[in-house]
A and B are shown apart, each in its own frame.
Chain A
């Protein structure tokens, strides 16, 4: 159990277009999901915390108008990269916190590789 999926697994888009990435918790409910960015051979950098039914909380330096997050249900959060540019090319990873447990138990998706031409 406790599987998190991401779709798409990779995407190539033209500069100026918008790309939506989905994160789903397949067999558990997640009131909180997290979005990370990972550059090659580097660590995960938290971008934002996505809370079901409320606005996302963005980390310092992350443009909320650039990276739109929607957490419409207990199993789905989406990240939309608006007007993407080559510098947005990266590996985007989501994690979902299992709500049923009292402690902090998070499960990670496989990631989405975004390439902006």
Chain B
């Protein structure tokens, strides 16, 4: 069974401070990991996927298979980063299991 754990329900930081949103997963094969963001009153949108190894809006996330983690990081948080962040997992790329399993989400608040 696939499972995603986001241990922090709420995270509050000050503007300019580093931020790390934790995500751990459980999956027997090679998963695809994603971070989705939901700004207030907006739809869910993809922020990062691990296979792209890209930085979006200053956020990065590295897949650590040894620790089964995919933590989201940003060195200097901005107020506009305040949102709900969801870590999600799906089965092997190219396989038939494309469904996403979401963590419970972390509400990030960046204070001025």
**A and B co-occur in one complex:** yes
Interface magnitude class on chain A: 20 to 34
CA distance A44 to B84 in the complex (A): 12
CA distance A88 to B93 in the complex (A): 34
Interface size, chain B (Cβ < 8 Å)? 21
- Chain B residues lying within 8 Å of A95, measured Cβ to Cβ, are 44, 100
Cβ–Cβ contact B104 & A42, under 8 A: yes
**Residue of A at shortest CB range from B103?**
A43
Evaluate whether A32 and B93 lie within 8 angstroms (CB atoms) in the complex, with A42-B104, A108-B43, A109-B43 already known. no
Cβ–Cβ contact B43 & A44, under 8 A: no
CA distance A38 to B51 in the complex (A): 27
A102 within 8 A of B: yes
Cβ–Cβ contact B44 & A108, under 8 A: yes
CA distance A46 to B102 in the complex (A): 9
**B79-112 contact mask (Cβ, 8 Å, vs A): 1 or 0:** 0000000100010011000111111110000000
Q: Which A residues fall within an 8 A CB radius of B?
A: 32, 34, 42-46, 49, 93, 95, 97, 102-111
Q: Which B residues fall within an 8 A CB radius of A?
A: 32, 36, 42-46, 49, 51, 86, 90, 93-94, 98-105
